[in-house]
Amino acid sequence: MSAFETETAIEPTGDGSWRARLTDAWNIGNNSNGGYALTPVLRALRELTGQPDPLSVTTHFLRPAHGSLDARIDATLIRKGRTISTARGTLSQEGKERLVVIAAFGDVQQQVGLGPELSPQPPDLPPIERCIGRSAHEQGVDLPLLSRADVFLHPNHLVTGDRGGTQLEGWIRFADGSSPSTLSLPFFADAFPPALFSVVGTIGWVPTVELTVQIRRAPATGWLRGRFECDDLHNGRMIETGALWDAQGALVARCRQLGLVIGK
């Protein structure tokens, strides 16, 4: 099993609840990466709905989740459908709810309607060896996460002080080489540094208030490409939108989040 599967595993405890234990290997500073912390909840919701793939995942982060702590997951089925089922789940640690997830599940490969194929093209990235690895030093916060994910960024998007540029593109994969899945796409959508880096510089931790990820296709094996942009920052609250493409150039996920720019 991959590190991601092992370290997001859940164990049923009955009555719509599960047990999990997060690890600090996926941390941003002292807190769990949000995309990692929500994954055990997605596993519970997948079991509850009986559907293979998350189609839309909305997570509200109430408090930071922490690695090396036991977690309790509680989940309820909102609606069971033939092609789409919706469920709600929470992750709690030390008796406090840390995050709330509402997700729609189905089969992402099942055709349910008609219409032409419309999809944005992937970014034209330099080869990985010409890109720059995500750096704890440049962001200004410890990144244990980089022991679990390889992240390489377009060098043109890492020039701080360029107030005309709030776009960030790059490559990402699991550090152990394991293949991405529909269940892991919310993690990958949340694992890039903030697109505001080129404007703000050493930015520290940018906690997410709310993150929505739509899964569009099952990803092929190999590196993912990402593009993220922020053109809306007001009173320290930012809106960032992004997309992920797989190794074959197919769009696999889109996302949007509200985050707080609180600095180091």
pLDDT tens digit sequence for 69-84? 999 999 999 999 999 9
Q: What structural domains and CATH numbers belong to the chain?
A: 3-108+126-260 (2.40.160.210)
Residue 139 has pLDDT above 60, yes or no: no
Q: Between these two residues, 68 and 163, which has the higher pLDDT value?
A: 68
Residue 165 has pLDDT above 60, yes or no: no
Residue 6 CB burial class (10 angstroms; 0-12, 13-18, ≥19):
exposed
Cα separations (Å) of 44 from 34, 36, 74, 98, 235? 16, 14, 8, 16, 36
pTM of the model: 0.94
pLDDT tens digit sequence for 189-204? 999 988 887 666 556 6
The average confidence (pLDDT) of the chain is: 92
Residue 140 has pLDDT above 70, yes or no: no
Reading the block at residue 46, the tokens are 């997948």
Q: What is the pLDDT of residue 201?
A: 59
